[in-house]
Structure 1
Amino acid sequence: MAFPGERSQPRGTILIANPSADLYGSDRMALEAARGLVSLGWRVVVTCSVDGPLVPQLRAAGAEVVILDVPVVRKSMLSARGMLSLGRDVLTQLPRMRRLIKDEQPDVVLANTVTLPFWTLAARSCREAVVVYVHEAEAALSGLARTLLTAPLRLANGVIFNSETSRRVSGWPGLERRDRARVVPNGVGGPPETLAARERLDDMFHIVYVGRLSPRKGVDLVVRAAALLRDAGIEPHVELVGSVFPGYEWYEAELRELVDELGLAGHVRFAGFREVVWEEFAAADVAVVPSRLDESFGNVVIEALLSERPVVVADHTGLAEAASGFAAAVLVPPDDAEALALGLSRVHEEWTDYRRAARSDAPRARRLYGPESFHARLSQALAEQAFPVPSPSMKDASWSPREVLD
């Protein structure tokens, strides 16, 4: 759909509601969305529930930022009792959310993830269009928990899914019948300069993991796989690039204990969080994405391919979707350290072929998941809700987007 009247700039105002202010997963997509929408002529206001490293990045991208402490749905709350308690908490915040909406007068509100259902309620109560941007694909949740998590989608004017996986898990037939669902695959930027992988593996086999240090991401599997590689005669060096979510410090402690227990102190490095990870990919021979549980997409899979590096990926949900069609992506059974080690060993043994495949895959990854395509598709999906097509009887009448919404 073209913007009404093929107007160029400005396109209107978008209020993006984001649950956190980190630089992982959906936070990075909020940043990429803001960057692209600003470049296409939208005024972008982002509200985060907390302050953090995302905020200066958003401002540098041209977005306005408002910190507003709004309750965020966590998995621990996904019960009838938990949701009732959360509902009580939000009663004090809803007036502030409505006030922000009325002050900013957005043409559309974009609730980034299903963990912010109250922004949908606030926007609808202000008679503003609202779109929920779904990054989740929690098929492993109970039926009740999944219903509670996705129920607010029924109130939204539209829903954008970041993959076919999230659409399949979180959507429902009524959404499709009413033509309110769109899939906009994640836009993933590549390194400013690509360094070709080395031609021969003469010394240590350099493996990089990028992401949260958490049990669901399977970081311990990477450590155990490294021990198996060492025992098989391949000297690994593992770079763990990431940090824990507050409250999960125990998991990093367990990882460090596991490294010591397996005698890998000289083989595994905890690099901590990095805002930019291209140097880590460039220093690696292979990347690994070993998540145990469902993922809606695999940004790190694409980042590795854009860096011309092979990647070993757990074969499920959105990770398999992201890896589909790429010769340099090796799919292995999930939650299996031996399978992960075998996948890495395969890359090591067939290095010349995988190095060549990774170089060939990079242009395809840019074409399918480059930021420019993402920006255009996201802008179009939001314009469909912000500026609905007028009926034939209105074609020659003067109108404004807000009159259509009201």
Structure 2
Amino acid sequence: MFRRFVRDRFRPHAPRDHSPSELLLVHPSAELYGSDRVFLESVRALTGAGHRVLVVLPGEGPLVSQLRRTGARVHHCPTAVLRKSVLHPTGLLGFLRDGLVSLPAVLRVLRRRYAAVYISTITVPTWTLLAAALGHRVVTHVHEAEDTQPLPIRVGLTLPLLASRRVVVNSRAAADVLHRAIPRLRDRTSVVYNGVAGPAEHPRAETSSTRPHRLILVGRLSPRKGTDTAVRALALLRERGHPVTLDLIGSAFDGYEWFEREIERLVRAHGLSDSVRLHGFDSDVWHHYAEADIALVPSRFEPFGNTAVEAQLAGLPVVVTDVQGLPETVGDGSRGHIVGADDPEALADGVERLLLDWPGALELAEHACREAAALFAPERYHESLRETIDELTAPGTAGRRAPRRALRGRRRTR
């Protein structure tokens, strides 16, 4: 009934200056962090194949100029974005308020005709539901794997995906989380590993066997990323006699300034003020990798883990935690060390193994660099995404549901 009401009242139309072959892509952020860079690769994949692309973002940010360089048009539209605060009454009311305020602008965009609508992440369910209700062919790209919430909440977060004809996920772990919540999604899900572009030139400043001491963690200052675990592991390593330092590349989300203060307090408490450097956000991470020796990805939650791939492409040995999709990024241990999450001692042990066998660590890093460059090449990602869009927009698919695509039978891991 809701779908019929929306479709009848706001039926899409195609003005003379608007081609129905255009693709609409919606993303909840204009930053340049992991999911934003993956979205940028999605746009490059489609504009590179000759598609006309209209990108909708909630505001300005460093991503905008990058998108325009691909030839995509960029439109700003207020958007209600799901945050963790929605689990609290005040946060839920704020999300509903934002949804009502943004509704007219969203409907104005969706009243046009598009060959397909690509929704990036499950955090903008209003776009998914309204686009499907208006008869658009919708594909949703899921970058999340929330498996710690009670089942009713996970089902509620995942339910809007039933309005999508296709669902793309970035790891087998993320797919498993979705399917445990709503098994019916298995029929329309494809696993496509993120495409991660490496540096223009090999960035390692040196590959000698001199004793390494520079650790690096690239990512948001966030409890999810395990920044505090890395600081505690550093303190343990120094207690064991290893003269290591830690560079933190990233800033805190708005509202998480308290965590940055907690990290600074932790650094002081362990007497690490001369050993930990906070660099803030930097859109160009390769020169930081070039000055480092070992990369840490100590996340508590991570559906994929772009930084684990970046570290391999930078030629660094990498230590990741055993959460969600992170083991997949290092070949389940064949391209990097895997340790327990939220465990500073385990993280310190993983780093120490590399320090005590540095020639072996360099050999592992060289092997990982070659394999990661092939497995996570942007070209492979582009090809997989274009296949998904081509299947969705093929003639005769307008009223057809997605074919059965069980992961075990046709998994895409490009």
- The TM-score, its normalising length taken from structure 1, stands at 0.88
User: For 2:361 and 2:283, how far apart are their aligned partners in 1?
Assistant: 28
Aligned to 2:32: 23
Question: Among 118, 123, 126, which residue is 1:110 paired with?
Answer: 118
| Cα distance in 2, alignment partners of residues 135 and 313 from structure 1 | 18
Among 320, 330, 334, the residue aligned to 1:313: 320
1:126 matched to 2:151? The reply is: no
Give 1:174's aligned residue. Answer: 184
Q: Secondary structure at the match of 1:317?
A: coil
Partner of 1:149: helix, strand, or coil? helix
- Secondary structure in 2 matching 1:93: helix
Question: Given the alignment, which residue of 360, 381, 386 partners 1:374?
Answer: 381
Note the C-alpha offset of 1:85.
6.0
Q: Are residue 184 (structure 1) and residue 183 (structure 2) matched? A: no
Partner of 1:55: 64
Match of 1:237 in 2: 245
Contact 1:136 1:166 in 2 (8 A): yes
Tell me which residue corresponds to 1:342.
349
Could you tell me the percent identity over the aligned residues? 41
How far does residue 80 in structure 1 lie from its aligned partner after superposition?
8.1
Take 1:320 and 1:159, find their aligned partners in 2: how far apart are those partners? 22
Q: CA deviation at 1:30?
A: 0.8
Question: Counterpart of 1:376 in structure 2: which amino acid?
Answer: E
Alignment of 1:5-404 (within 5 A): 12-78=21-87, 83=92, 86-87=95-96, 89-103=98-112, 105-171=113-179, 172-176=182-186, 179-196=187-204, 197-202=206-211, 205-292=213-300, 294-325=301-332, 327-388=334-395, 390=396
Q: Distance in 2 between the 1:327 and 1:377 partners?
A: 24
Q: Deviation string for 1:42-65 (max 9, x for gaps)?
A: 112111112211111111222211
Cα distance in 2 for partners of 1:75, 1:263 equals 33
Q: Is the 8 A contact 2:56 2:77 kept in 1?
A: yes
Once residues 11 and 327 of structure 1 are traced to their aligned partners in structure 2, the CA distance between those partners, rounded to angstroms, is 46
Contact 2:234/2:246 (CA < 8 Å) preserved in 1? Answer: yes
- SS of 2:325's partner is helix
Q: Do the aligned partners of residues 383 and 81 (structure 1) sit closer, same or farther apart at CA in structure 2, a change above 3 Å counting?
A: farther
**CA 1:71 to 1:313, structure 2 compared with 1: closer, same or farther past 3 Å?**
same
Distance 1:80 1:144, change over 3 A: farther
For residues 99-134 of structure 1, the C-alpha deviation after alignment (integer angstroms, 9 at most, x for no partner) is: 11234x321111110001011122123211111110
Q: Distance in 2 between matches of 1:25 and 1:185?
A: 13
The 1-side partners of 2:352 and 2:20 are apart by 51
- C-alpha deviation, 1:195, in angstroms: 3.7
**Shift of residue 201, structure 1, vs aligned partner:** 2.8
Aligned Cα root-mean-square deviation (Å): 2.1
Shift of 1:291: 0.8
Q: What whole-Å deviation, never above 9, does each CA across 1:134-188 have from its counterpart, x for those lacking one?
A: 0011111111221111110011111111111111101333223xx3211111111
| C-alpha deviation, 1:223, in angstroms | 1.0
2: CA distance between counterparts of 1:248 and 1:82?
15
Secondary structure of the 1:91 match is helix
Cα displacement (A) at 1:11: 11
Query: Which region of structure 1 is more displaced relative to structure 2, 81-90 or 311-320?
Result: 81-90
- How far, CA to CA, are the matches of 1:79 and 1:143 in structure 2? 16
Distance in 2 of aligned mates of 1:403 and 1:216: 41
Query: Does the 8 Å contact 1:161/1:181 carry over to 2?
Result: yes
- What residue is the counterpart of 1:7 in the other structure? none
Distance 1:188 1:29 in 2: 8
Is residue 43–residue 63 contact of structure 1 (8 Å, CA) maintained in 2? Answer: yes
**1:309-333: CA deviation from partner (whole Å, max 9, x where unpaired):** 1101011211112122553411011
